[in-house]
Amino acid sequence: GDSVTQMEGPVTLSEEACLTINCTYTATGYPSLFWYVQYPGEGLQLLLKATKADDKGSNKGFEATYRKETTSFHLEKGSVQVSDSAVYFCALSSGGGNKLTFGTGTQLKVEL
């Protein structure tokens, strides 16, 4: 079945540091890939997505590239801010399953 593996958190960074959150996946068929963000006490918001190999999704300074050869979709940001503190979820959907399969989430804490 489909699965998503994310690096374990929490990740603690200083403001303006570089961020990478690793995400790899196993899927039947050709999945669409997503990153969602959950701020404290809130629901999930789509951060970015990609639907085919080598596509790069980007939003709010975050980027992720769909790498079919390594089955990965790592999230990156060049300079994090305190306001980026949240839980980040990698997710996929494939094979007509009509659902998202989520990774376990990675908590990011950015300090001044």
What distances in angstroms separate CA 22 from CA 88, 95, 97, 112, one per listed residue? 11, 23, 24, 24
Segment 52 to 111, residues that bind other proteins, using CB under 8 A: 87, 89, 93-102, 104-105, 107
Element (H, E) at 11: strand 11-14
Q: Is 38 in the site for other proteins (CB under 8 A)?
A: yes
* Six token digits for residue 42: 């809130």
Nearer residue to other proteins within complex by CB, 1 or 112: 1
Cα gap 34→69, rounded to integer Å: 17
Q: How far is the CB of 44 from other proteins (least distance, A)?
A: 4
| Residue ranges that bind other proteins, judged by CB under 8 A | 29, 31-32, 34, 36, 38, 42-46, 49-51, 87, 89, 93-102, 104-105, 107
